[in-house]
Amino acid sequence: MKDTLSLGSAAATWAGGFYLRHFVLVFGLSLIPTLQRFAVVRWDLPPAVSITTEVLVALVRILLVALAVRLMVLECGFPAPEAWARLKFGLDARRIAFWGQWALLAVAFATFDLVPNVLIATVVPESGRELVTAWLVAVKNPTIIAFTVLWMVGIARTLIIDPDPALDDQTTSTGGSMR
């Protein structure tokens, strides 16, 4: 559990820093899903427009992931093949901590998606639910959703940078390098 929280914390810290360092990129790309989600929830758009803009949102999110991964690999300072090898080693060495991230993601989903939706359904009068929901999904896109994407990339980064913390402990106790 300690390694799960450590991995999640390191990934979240990196994600926050990445967001700030690349604010224009992350926020700018997030504006497309923001506007699309607001419009789809708020107004009755023709199906062709809804479907086309959903495809656009998916492409923008893929672009965000691709750019974040590319910048992360460059920031790590490892050539791509070495970064990939270190990631695979980290996934093997920290398998439980990696899968624990999905439990943390489930908690985040419950906190930032399910709870607000229940509150809207129970607290907001029916006449205002559509507008409040539209604003909620608009706000979540450049904040929670973008941060979650970066957090997932941050998990990979942490596994690349520190694939096996047990080696660090051994290195410290023996005074030598295990890598």
* Residue at 170 is within a domain: no
Number of independent structural domains in the chain: 1
Could you tell me the CA-to-CA distances from 142 to 35, 44, 163 in Å, in that order?
A: 10, 23, 30
Query: Is residue 62 situated within a structural domain?
Result: yes
Phi/psi of residue 46, nearest 5 degrees: -60, 145
Q: Using CA atoms, how far apart are residues 56 and 38, in angstroms rounded to an integer?
A: 14
Which CA distances in Å does 147 have to 67, 77, 141, 142, 153? 14, 23, 9, 8, 10
The verdict on residue 73 lying in a domain is yes
Report if residue 171 sits inside a domain. no
Confidence band, pLDDT 50/70/90 cuts, at residue 167 = low
In a domain, 107, yes or no: yes
Is the full-model pTM beyond 0.75? yes
What does the pLDDT read at residue 172? 38
In this predicted structure, the answer to whether residue 31 has a pLDDT above a threshold of 90 is yes
Q: Looking at the predicted structure, is the pLDDT value of residue 124 above 50?
A: yes
CB of 16 closer than 8 Å to CB of 9 = no
Show the domain range for 25: 2-164
Mean pLDDT computed over 78-84: 90
Instruction: Share the mean pLDDT of the chain.
Output: 89
Task: Please tell me the predicted confidence (pLDDT) of residue 162.
Answer: 83
Q: Would residue 12 count as lying in a domain? A: yes
